[in-house]
Amino acid sequence: MRFDPEEWARVHDAREDRHFAFRRGLELCVEACAERIRPGDLWADVGTGTGHLAGALAALGARVIGLDRDPRMAFYARGRWPRAVAFAVADASGLALPDASCGGIVAISLLGCLPSPAGFLAEAARVLSPGGTLCISAMNRHSLLLAVSKASSWRRGRPGAPRYTAYDPAALAGALRHAGLVPERQVLYAHFVAAGSRIVPGAAAARRRERTTPPGARDPWARQLLILARRAGG
């Protein structure tokens, strides 16, 4: 999937309700990783896009490299964050970083763009130092609210809309363990139905319904899940 960098930057900057799920994933990631970042540690933002999350991590004291397979995104991000973050072109299944070189890796809204998470998770396990942090988000395959939103979108007719892979939380937790990563906690969020450019209920109500669970727990309502894991051995 290829996106226009200027349009993608507006998803962050305009703060429209219809993009709440994506932006909330970034916020939850920053909140979860803030307690784990040690000044000077190298962190990688995989699927960095326009670099907004990478910039937020750099503001917390990390050395950050933003990686994206789309050269246009990397070029845009370098212009947006010229001093805070380094950016490079790389595929999620080939991160081009040394073994055990990162204190943390984040990948928000990346897994939905991949046919399988296995290659990326194997790379994450290789690149993370022992005890290093991985923070990922994905769509919840079992969400009734997500199904309603998809059905509504289909009825309105959006033939060019991108397709994203949704995940079973238990299967995703199992894939993490298979890669040598230890899932620690899960946040279920985005409890809303998309109605055109609006979400029902609104953002404040959706935040109140968020809950933290053991990794793999299912929820028939939350559209999204965020999992915090670490590399075994630390």
In this prediction, residue 158 carries a pLDDT of 52
Domain tally, the chain: 1
pLDDT tens profile 66-96? 999 999 999 999 999 988 899 999 999 999 9
Domain hosting 43: range is: 5-231
Whether the CB-CB separation of 33 and 133 falls below 8 Å is answered with yes
Round to whole Å and give the CA distance between 97 and 109: 21
Q: Tokens 């990346």 correspond to what residue?
A: 110
| pLDDT tens sequence across 15-71 | 888 899 999 999 999 999 999 999 889 999 999 999 999 999 999 999 999 999 999
CB-CB contact of 208 with 217 (8 Å)? no
Please tell me the distance from the alpha carbon of residue 171 to that of residue 175, in angstroms, as a whole number.
6
What's the pLDDT at 179?
Answer: 97
CA atoms within 13 A on the CB side of 101: 11
161 band by pLDDT with thresholds 50, 70 and 90:
low
User: 214: domain CATH number?
Assistant: 3.40.50.150
Token couple for 84: 């805070």
Q: Are strands 193-195 and 198-200 parallel, antiparallel or unpaired?
A: antiparallel
